A and B are shown apart, each in its own frame.
Chain A
Amino acid sequence: MSTLPKRIIRETERLISDPVPDITATPHEDNLRYFDVSLKGPAGSPYENGVFKLELFLPDDYPMTAPKVRFLTRIYHPNIDRLGRICLDVLKNNWSPALQIRTILLSIQALLSSPNPDDPLANEVAQEWKGNHAKAIATAKEWTEKYATP
């Protein structure tokens, strides 16, 4: 296996020594590019009190390409599909090599606070979100309780 770039070592060190509030990211022992992430649902959102598990992988050409992130816990959100894939600009076109794991996870947390049903990934969820907002929020809360409560 190739040696881990300095950049990844630095980032990992900082994630552990100076963790982001409500977010943990721990690398696998046998693969230091693979992280187990857990993320608390932001207060004031239907995901409040939920703890969501994600996986994060740093591809070979990281940081030139974005990390690959996916929700493992099921979540009712217009920009996250049933496989946990996330539609987020900084993970795609707006990725910049100066961004970090930390900033990406914060962006994901922000996405939970402010979903964007106009640029949906899960179409049905987005329709519900726009057509029957109250019901969508209720479902999101229900799912949070069902799947994301420890």
Chain B
Amino acid sequence: MSDSEEYEGSYEYDNSDEGSSLEFSDVDYGDDNSLNELEHEDTHAKVMFSFPTSTTSSGIPTHRMKYQALCIDEIQKCIEQKVKELSDLLQLDIGKCLVLLLTYGWNEHKLLDDYVNCKEQSNLLLEHGIYDKAFPSNLNCLLTKETGEEVICSICCCSPEPSEPMSFFSLFGCRHKFCTDCYSHYIQTKNEGSQVIIDCPFSDPKCTLKVTTLELNVLSDFIEESIKQPKENITQAKLISEDEIKQLYNLSSDEEQFDSNGNVINQFDDDKEENEREVTSINDIVYDFHKAMLKREREELDSKRNRTILSKYWYNVSNQYCMTQVKRFKHCPYPDCESVVEFLGFDSDNIASIEEQISLLLIPLVRCGRKHQFCFACMEVSHAPCPCKVVEKWKQKCEDDSETLNWIQSNTKDCPKCHSIIEKNGGCNHMSCTACNYQFCWLCLGDWSSHTNNYRCDQYKGNDSLDGDSVRASLERYMFYFDHFNNQRISHDKDREILEKFESRIRELQIKAGVSWIETVFYKECVTALLECRQILKWSYAFLFYVPKCRGKQLVEAAQWQLSDKVERLSKLFADTPASEVLACKKSFLYIKSSMIVAQEKFLETCIDIFADPTTMISFKRRLNIT
């Protein structure tokens, strides 16, 4: 493919080493794909729904939420559009309109009201720190070259040397000059503080004129131009040097070791079963390399964001825009993800707000542009089928009860006769229960009467089965659900660890097999689906803990069993298939995955259906103390 040809140049860097060039193309390949993925998703923003269908198969409405996944650049475009419209309407420069919107906290209505009704529009503009005369089409006059020694930048106190003129920048409305370095440093400081309304720095007397994007653009371009000079350095930094690769591979500069690893990679195709240990170590290396590349990608993305003071400013403006409309926009809660989800209403007229949806025990589940699933209401990672309230209660319970439970288990025992919980707060092992006056031994819980004459009781005897309802027994139910919840959590985390590691291995194999990247997408899809289903299973235990006994509960449990069965089957397939055979087993993977998805959808539907019965709904809510 053409991309790998482009990188031919970089091969020259490590011409002596076949192994490294192999990995190298792998990573470049991955890099390209992720870019494609992003582009693809950016351009195809469309309305999505929080639930696949508008009713469950048994006809219960799901009142799904409509939403759209956006990236921050799309927000910027949307703002630009808004500003453009306002600019046409008010016959005002675009940059000034943005400042107006910002100072009005995006309240366009009030802005227009004030603007139309005020006596003197130029006064209103000046009041908001906006110059009232139109900007010329070319604002390059804001940049000036100064030579005289009497000129001084009052921020750095520097004056131009006689031989070398200094560049100054000023806003069009006030022409308070500061040197371009200080001005851009000033803007950068404001950017870092996420400040979007930026005054002219002049302070004697205080100048309240605001910096507009039009002016910022001039300064930004100038700064870009001036740091472009050592451009060669920048491009060079993008190519990875041989040393760096070794560093990424976590190898010393010892050539021999590096070579031998390269050989191992080559050998691997010939005798697959050999040297499992070394294969795993290669796996680790590939994984580490992959991780390092991801980190690098992210850093590059960051530097892209910080590239110009103007783009950083826009980034802040876009974020601020979302923040001022918290009901409409939510940032993806995943770490390092900058995607935004926009709320677009519901597909049924029966509910009007997220709050209302929550009260129906439904979950507004959304996916950001990078496919991260989260709850739009409570901003937690997906917790289906648990309504938000259950999550909150469950977490609280886990926190409270695990403490209590631990304490009870480690500090108390039940009276063998009446099952009162007893704490031994000192004294000898001869206990007498204050409730039933039973005399027993603290160590063996046996009758004290048998303990006379140096009787020893250091051997464990199976506890009598407890009849009667002790606190311990009531905790047992909780423990059951908690254990299952926890097991799924651990399985989820372990699976993720292993499968993500595997993923890079698969990519490597795909390169070797010479098949397209598309051919391996299924693997990633299966991993994601499996992890999501584990997440659902995990929360299903918390859910069931609160669901009262009813016919619906049995159906939920049956559907849960179905899902859990499919999850285990897929999990087993992952575990049983050696990496080298994954591509060949594509069909089995896809088959089990799709049956798992069916089970998952069925399960989630059953969890919604259960509340069609009002008595279940009421007693469920009662258990949660909500009305």
Contacts and interface: CB of A to CB of B under 8 A. Distances in A.
B57 interface: no
A9 B156 CA distance: 10
A20 to B, nearest CB: 14
A96 B185 contact: no
B203 A7 contact: no
Contacts of A97: 155, 182, 186, 201
Name the residue among A6, A63, A103 with the largest chain B CB count within 10 angstroms. A63
A19 B189 CA distance: 30
A103 B157 contact: no
Contact of A98 (B185, B189, B201): B201
B189 to A, nearest CB: 4
B193 to A, nearest CB: 9
B185 A64 contact: yes
A10 interface: yes
A58 B186 CA distance: 16
Nearest to A14: B157
Nearest to B190: A64
Q: Which of B178, B199, B204 has the most CB of A within 10 A?
A: B204
For chain A, give the interface size range: 10 to 19
Interface in A88-102: 94, 96-99
A104 B181 CA distance: 24
Given A61-B189, A64-B185, A97-B186, A10 B203 contact: no
Contacts of A131: none
Interface in A14-61: 61
Nearest to A6: B157
B69 to A, nearest CB: 35
Interface in B422-470: none
B186 A6 contact: no
Contacts of B154: 98
B189 A65 contact: yes
A103 B204 CA distance: 9
B189 A96 contact: no
B206 interface: yes
Interface in B194-235: 199, 201-204, 206
Interface string B562-579: 000000000000000000
A5 B199 CA distance: 24
Contact of A6 (B158, B178, B189, B201): B158
B201 A96 contact: yes
Contact of B206 (A7, A10, A11, A96): A96
Nearest to A90: B203
Contacts of B185: 64
A7 B157 contact: yes
B157 A64 contact: no
Given A64-B186, A64-B189, A6 B202 contact: no
B188 to A, nearest CB: 8
A20 B201 CA distance: 23
Contacts of A65: 189
A106 to B, nearest CB: 11
Interface residues of B, number: 16
Given A97-B182, A97-B186, A63 B155 contact: yes
Contacts of B204: 98, 103
Interface in B277-297: none
A11 B155 CA distance: 11
A83 to B, nearest CB: 24
A49 to B, nearest CB: 30
A98 B156 contact: no
B203 A96 contact: yes
Interface in B297-334: none
A6 B186 CA distance: 17
Contact of B156 (A7, A61, A99): A7
Given A64-B186, A103-B203, A98 B155 contact: yes
A94 B202 CA distance: 11
Contacts of A99: 203
Given A64-B185, A98-B204, A103-B204, A10 B157 contact: yes
B155 A7 contact: yes
Interface string B171-186: 0000000100010011
B544 to A, nearest CB: 50
A61 B156 CA distance: 11
Contacts of B178: 98
Nearest to A61: B189
B348 to A, nearest CB: 46
Nearest to B155: A97
A64 B204 CA distance: 16
B376 to A, nearest CB: 33
Nearest to B195: A93
Given A64-B185, A64-B186, A65-B189, A96 B157 contact: no
B202 A98 contact: yes
Contacts of A64: 185-186, 189
A7 B153 CA distance: 10
Contacts of A96: 199, 201-203, 206
Contacts of A103: 203-204
Nearest to A64: B189
Interface in A61-118: 61, 63-65, 94, 96-99, 103
Contacts of B182: 97
Most buried by B among A9, A64, A94: A64
A11 B156 CA distance: 10
A5 B201 contact: no
Given A7-B157, A98-B155, A98-B178, 19 more contacts: A5-B156, A6-B156, A6-B157, A7-B155, A7-B156, A10-B157, A61-B189, A64-B185, A64-B186, A64-B189, A65-B189, A96-B199, A96-B203, A96-B206, A97-B155, A97-B182, A98-B154, A98-B203, A103-B203
What 10 A-B pairs are tightest by C-beta distance, nearest first? A10-B157, A7-B157, A96-B203, A98-B203, A64-B189, A97-B155, A98-B201, A96-B201, A99-B203, A6-B157
Interface of B: 154-158, 178, 182, 185-186, 189, 199, 201-204, 206
24 contacts: A5-B156, A6-B158, A7-B156, A7-B157, A9-B157, A11-B157, A61-B189, A64-B185, A64-B189, A65-B189, A94-B206, A96-B202, A96-B203, A96-B206, A97-B155, A98-B154, A98-B178, A98-B201, A98-B202, A98-B203, A98-B204, A99-B203, A103-B203, A103-B204
